[in-house]
């Protein structure tokens, strides 16, 4: 288990934005993963995706790592942000924009505004 934790820790710290998800950003394998990947893709965020379905150790390990029971899980600059509901709320409130700006993560602000306008 230490190897899995080390691998997860290295992945989280080596990437500005990383999404642990079911499937890949090109082909999500669950609705919640699809929603978060869709937001990040639409906003043009450069992020790494980790398919937890490809490795049972990672699938359980990420839950232990974050002490969060569900997938997907979004990390920005090494910090756990949350899962689908939290990312959705942060997107709609503008908090995700603020988080990206504070951490120097490039994203399309116009796309973020369009998401908010479509959900107003």
Distance CA 72, CA 103 (A): 21
Other beta carbons less than 10 A from residue 104's beta carbon: 8
Residue appearing with tokens 């709320």: 89
What is the length of the chain?
Answer: 120
Digit-coded pLDDT (tens) for 11-42: 999 999 999 999 999 999 999 999 999 999 99
The domain spanning residue 95 has which CATH number? 3.40.30.10
Residue numbers of the domain that contains 82 = 2-118
Report pLDDT for 120: 86
30 is in an annotated binding site: yes
Which has the closest alpha carbon to 99: 34, 24, 45, 37? 45
Which has the closest alpha carbon to 52: 17, 28, 82, 35? 28
When divided into structural domains, the chain yields a total of 1
Digit-coded pLDDT (tens) for 37-76: 999 999 999 999 999 999 999 999 999 999 999 999 999 9
Q: Give the predicted TM-score (pTM) of the model.
A: 0.96
User: What string of DSSP letters covers 48-113?
Assistant: EEEEGGG-HHHHHHHHHHHT--SS-EEEETTEEEE-HHHHHHHHHHTHHHHHHHHTT----HHHHH
């Amino acid at each position: 288990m230490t190897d899995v934790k080390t691998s997860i820790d290295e992945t989280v710290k080596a990437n500005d934005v990383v999404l642990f998800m079911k499937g890949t950003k090109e082909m999500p394998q669950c609705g919640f993963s699809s929603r978060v990947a869709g937001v990040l893709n639409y906003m043009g965020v450069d992020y790494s995706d980790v398919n937890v379905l490809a490795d049972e150790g990672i699938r359980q390990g990420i839950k232990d790592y974050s002490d969060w029971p569900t997938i997907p899980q979004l990390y920005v600059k090494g910090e756990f942000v949350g899962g689908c509901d939290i990312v959705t709320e942060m997107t709609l409130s503008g908090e995700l924009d603020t988080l990206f700006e504070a951490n120097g993560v490039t994203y399309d602000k116009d796309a973020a505004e369009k998401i908010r306008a479509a959900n107003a």
